[in-house]
Amino acid sequence: MKDLRSAVLAASVWVIALLTVLLPGAAVPLGVTALLGACGWALGPGRRRRGSGLVVLSLLCGAVVALTSAAAQPARDRAAELGGRAVEVTAEITSSASVGSDGRLWLDALTMRLGPPGHAEPLPVPVRIGIDPQDGVDLGAELTIAGQAKTTDAGERATLVVFTTTGEVSRPASGIFAIAAHTRADLIDRATTLPEPGAGLLPGLAVGDTRAVSEELNAAMLASGLSHLTAVSGANCAIVVAAVFWIVALCGGGRRTRVVVSLAALGAFVVLVTPEPSVIRAAVMAALAMLTVLLGRPSAGMAMLSVAVAGILLTDPWLATSPGFALSAAATAALLLLARPLARGMSRWVPEPVALALAVPLAAQLVCGPIVALFSEQQSIVGVVANLIAEPAAPIATVIGLLACLTAPLPPLADLLAATAWLPSSWIATTATVSAGLPGAVLPVVAGPLTAVVIALVSAAIAVLLARSGSSRLRASAGVVLTVALALGGARILLTGPLATLTAPDDWSIAACDVGQGDAVLVRSEGRVALIDTGPDPGALSDCLTQLGVARIDLLVLTHYDQDHAGGLDAVRGRTGTMLHGPTSEAKDGRMLRDAASAGARLVPAAAGRHGELGAASWQVLWPPPGSAAFTSGNDAGIVVEFSGGDVPRSIFLADLSATPQRMLASSGRVRGPYAVVKVAHHGSKDQDPGLYAQLQPRVALISVGEGNDYGHPRDETLAFLDALNARILRTDQSGRILLGMREGGVAVWTERSPDPMAAGGGGP
């Protein structure tokens, strides 16, 4: 009963915290209402009713949360007015840094001064900062930066996101923060001298520092459901507390001494790994457990978790919207409440130790799945098995890696410990890459509340059936839910696997793959296939190629090197014949080309005038001009290519050209409309030249764009002039995969989400 009351209190605080941070204007009224309600309930005639104390306490906690949020809102509102403007910021780093897909270091900070250039003023608000990699970007350090600010959505803990143009560490971390930063950096340096796999993962397992983890391994950890191993959580805190408690006991320390020293060690550990949401939750829970030991009143784990969650939200309501905090609390609750019933149920089929080993990751997966579905577009299918294989190595790598970190003043010993921890770290890295590469390892989903509800129903059905809980009618209903889910899942696997090609017509000649915010367009003639860009995600491109029965790319046109056009290159590695590419501007561009060449691709620099054949079709490059000094790299030097003949509708693909090079292309004499198909430049951004499109006279305007992107693509202005040209607009965010082919009377169109095999716009050229 005590656990239930604590859970109700924590849930009440969480709900009120969500309301106050998502609806800032309601914070004060909600806080005052909760406070008056608590007073009325406590002093009213029903004060002696059962549960009155819980109601009063919940309302009081809700009032504190709401008023805490309201007190911070004026400063947040002033900071939000700077969104979209250039700003100067002086801020203290409050989190660890991680490397984003753009190559920047991303971190949280608390501003001390914030404002327009030359007019910064004291304004303490949390912000998210992206800065170029440099030394000294550590917890406790002070940054002085200038950049562009962007307002965040309601509920975000950071008030602004600042994209830094210039920045420096004006004051390095000092005291214990400096010691912790130096210790972490030493472990990273020591670990990265070891071979991969496992070297870059070791600091993540030991102290939660993932800066050395490669993008490929990070993606594999996510796909295999093992990413939680690099997020410092309750297990790490428990290991530290238990080890210190045991050592002090061996030295003869009494209960009070053991608890005090363990709490001190826990505080030092939190500073070492940086206070992320999951670390805060785990540390508070561990501290409460130590205090109950000190007071001689051991308490149930669920009650401690609930009090920890409520206490943290009282001081920082914005953590209520943090996925990491929610996943951490949910996973802990799952282990406390669900693991044992699942183990009992599965022990009917397997030995009890095996059942318990399976129940731990399964419980976490079932409870966390619906939360993950709110923001992630994939669900790991192999997560339970991968965790079962990797989990035994995790505590070994964590403990020995942490010891390697702490023994940095003794290099020979630290080297020995790091080398020892490398073996279990490599085991985990190998497990992640192998399991993530299995067919069907990841189930693609549409992130959002509806998917979360579906995943929750399926998870509940699995839990009911495995634990054999509830009435026979409930178990029968769970069986029906699971049967329907398996049938639909099996059908999807067949239609995206062995029967994938049955979902596409045989006579398509142009295919726009649905790869999110990016370009990946196929052109086919007499069995020969060209691919124009690869999109941002190898998995999405690979799925599209499989569904269309494309095994080899005869011609790859890499228009430019941005992530949304070249990020999926791994999907066609080793099966590309010729690769047309533009000029490089960064070292990573050159590495990308060398990797493609080493995998067998023949590299061909592209410039206007180059041409060739694809089956019975012909192609020619229209942009960039040879030896152009004005457009040397990037969007404006992107390759524009034209295809025609061989049952391919006359088509032009405009890469990400902006209005200026579009005007120059229009005046170059190289383009002569009409075109049956025009791939609209830059995902339909507003930076277009309507005059070029008037010259192209497109029958079909193809826009490859991601659903719900942050750029507002495609823009209304672009859609308006395309509509004025009587072009049929086809968008991958609305229609999914789009297939085009030649039919008598025009261009035939097939779309994934709204099949339409009707001719588009009458007779094509």
List Cβ neighbours of 149 (8 Å cut-off, separation of 6 or more).
82, 83, 84, 85, 86, 87, 160, 161, 162, 163
Rounded Cα gap, residues 747 and 759, in angstroms: 5
Same domain? For 135 and 17 the reply is: no
458-471 b/e with 16+ CB inside 10 Å = b?
Answer: bbbbbbbbbbeeee
Q: What is the average pLDDT across 559-572? A: 89
- Contact status, residue 752 vs residue 738, Cβ threshold 8 Å: yes
Of 50-64, 323-337, 604-618, 719-733, minimum mean pLDDT range: 50-64
At 498 the pLDDT is: 60
Rounded Cα gap, residues 126 and 158, in angstroms: 5
Whole-model pTM? 0.67
* 572 in any annotated domain: yes
Same domain? For 9 and 154 the reply is: no
How confident is the model over 452-467, as pLDDT tens digits? 888 888 888 888 888 8
How confident is the model over 92-126, as pLDDT tens digits? 888 777 777 667 788 888 888 888 888 888 988 88
Q: What is the average pLDDT across 187-199? A: 83
Same domain? For 587 and 720 the reply is: yes
At 754 the pLDDT is: 59
Q: Is the pLDDT of residue 608 over 60?
A: yes
Q: Is the pLDDT of residue 299 over 60?
A: no
At 231 the pLDDT is: 66
* 592 in any annotated domain: yes
- Contact status, residue 66 vs residue 31, Cβ threshold 8 Å: yes
Of 141-155, 299-313, 385-399, minimum mean pLDDT range: 299-313
Task: Provide the pLDDT confidence category of residue 496 given band limits of 50, 70 and 90.
Answer: low
Q: What is the average pLDDT across 49-76? A: 78
Task: Provide the pLDDT confidence category of residue 191 given band limits of 50, 70 and 90.
Answer: confident
- Counting the structural domains of the chain, the total is 3
User: Does a cis peptide bond (omega within 30 degrees of 0) precede residue 674?
Assistant: yes
The residue that leads in pLDDT, 482 or 654, is: 654
* 13 in any annotated domain: yes
Most confident of 208-217, 293-302, 631-640: 631-640
Burial class (CB in 10 A: 0-12, 13-18, 19+), 551: exposed
At 298 the pLDDT is: 53
Q: How many whole angstroms from its chain centre is CA 720?
A: 33
Q: DSSP letter string over 55-113?
A: HHHHHHHHHHHHHHHHHHHHHHHHHHTTTTSEEEEEEEE-S--EE-TTS-EEEEEEEEE
Same domain? For 59 and 91 the reply is: no
CATH code, domain carrying 563 = 3.60.15.10
Q: What is the average pLDDT across 389-398? A: 82
Same domain? For 523 and 602 the reply is: yes
372-395 b/e with 16+ CB inside 10 Å = b?
Answer: bbeebbbbbbbbbbbbbbbbebbe
Average pLDDT value for the chain? 82
Rounded Cα gap, residues 656 and 710, in angstroms: 17
Rounded Cα gap, residues 582 and 598, in angstroms: 18
143-170 b/e with 16+ CB inside 10 Å = b?
Answer: bbbebbbebbeebbbbbbbbebeebebe
SS3 151: strand
* 61 in any annotated domain: yes
| Helices within 580-703 (DSSP H only) | 587-598, 659-667, 690-696
The first and second tokens of residue 611, run together, are 């041409």
At 680 the pLDDT is: 95
SS3 37: helix
Rounded Cα gap, residues 756 and 735, in angstroms: 10
Rounded Cα gap, residues 294 and 255, in angstroms: 7
* 392 in any annotated domain: no
At 765 the pLDDT is: 34
Structural domain of residue 52, as residue ranges? 2-78
Task: Provide the pLDDT confidence category of residue 764 given band limits of 50, 70 and 90.
Answer: very low
User: Does a cis peptide bond (omega within 30 degrees of 0) precede residue 757?
Assistant: no
At 760 the pLDDT is: 41
Q: Is the pLDDT of residue 540 over 90?
A: no
Of 183-187, 331-335, 495-499, 646-650, minimum mean pLDDT range: 495-499
Q: How many whole angstroms from its chain centre is CA 1?
A: 38
Same domain? For 510 and 648 the reply is: yes
At 525 the pLDDT is: 92
Query: Which helix (H) or strand (E) element contains residue 578?
Result: strand 576-581
Same domain? For 64 and 124 the reply is: no
Same domain? For 693 and 714 the reply is: yes
- Contact status, residue 139 vs residue 181, Cβ threshold 8 Å: yes
SS3 644: strand
At 384 the pLDDT is: 76
Domain endpoint, select from 22, 53, 78? 78
Burial class (CB in 10 A: 0-12, 13-18, 19+), 13: buried
Q: Tell me the percentage of the chain whose pLDDT exceeds 90.
A: 17
Most confident of 62-66, 162-166, 439-443: 162-166
What is the helix, strand, coil percentage profile of the chain, to 5? 50, 20, 30
At 392 the pLDDT is: 81
CA angle 486, 490, 496 (to 5 degrees): 145
- Contact status, residue 304 vs residue 283, Cβ threshold 8 Å: no
* 354 in any annotated domain: no
Rounded Cα gap, residues 450 and 321, in angstroms: 18
The residue that leads in pLDDT, 519 or 175, is: 519
List Cβ neighbours of 511 (8 Å cut-off, separation of 6 or more).
504, 521, 522, 524, 544, 548, 737, 738, 739, 740
Rounded Cα gap, residues 229 and 400, in angstroms: 15
* 473 in any annotated domain: no
Rounded Cα gap, residues 476 and 470, in angstroms: 10
Q: Is the pLDDT of residue 301 over 70?
A: no
At 28 the pLDDT is: 75
List Cβ neighbours of 346 (8 Å cut-off, separation of 6 or more).
355, 358, 359, 466
Using only C-alpha atoms, what is the Rg of the chain? Answer: 29
Same domain? For 556 and 649 the reply is: yes
The residue that leads in pLDDT, 322 or 749, is: 749
Same domain? For 68 and 50 the reply is: yes
Rounded Cα gap, residues 535 and 558, in angstroms: 10
* 641 in any annotated domain: yes
Find, among 726, 670, 668, 740, the residue nearest to 698 by Cα. Answer: 726
Domain endpoint, select from 22, 56, 78? 78
The first and second tokens of residue 256, run together, are 């009070």
Q: Is the pLDDT of residue 157 over 60?
A: yes
Q: Is the pLDDT of residue 757 over 50?
A: no
The first and second tokens of residue 730, run together, are 């086809």
Same domain? For 571 and 586 the reply is: yes
Rounded Cα gap, residues 218 and 99, in angstroms: 11
At 643 the pLDDT is: 95
Q: Is the pLDDT of residue 761 over 50?
A: no
Task: Provide the pLDDT confidence category of residue 758 given band limits of 50, 70 and 90.
Answer: very low
- Contact status, residue 515 vs residue 535, Cβ threshold 8 Å: yes
Rounded Cα gap, residues 729 and 676, in angstroms: 12
Domain endpoint, select from 173, 202, 227? 173
The residue that leads in pLDDT, 479 or 162, is: 162
Q: Is the pLDDT of residue 578 over 90?
A: yes
At 611 the pLDDT is: 92
Same domain? For 683 and 575 the reply is: yes
CA angle 78, 83, 84 (to 5 degrees): 150
CATH code, domain carrying 118 = 2.40.50.140
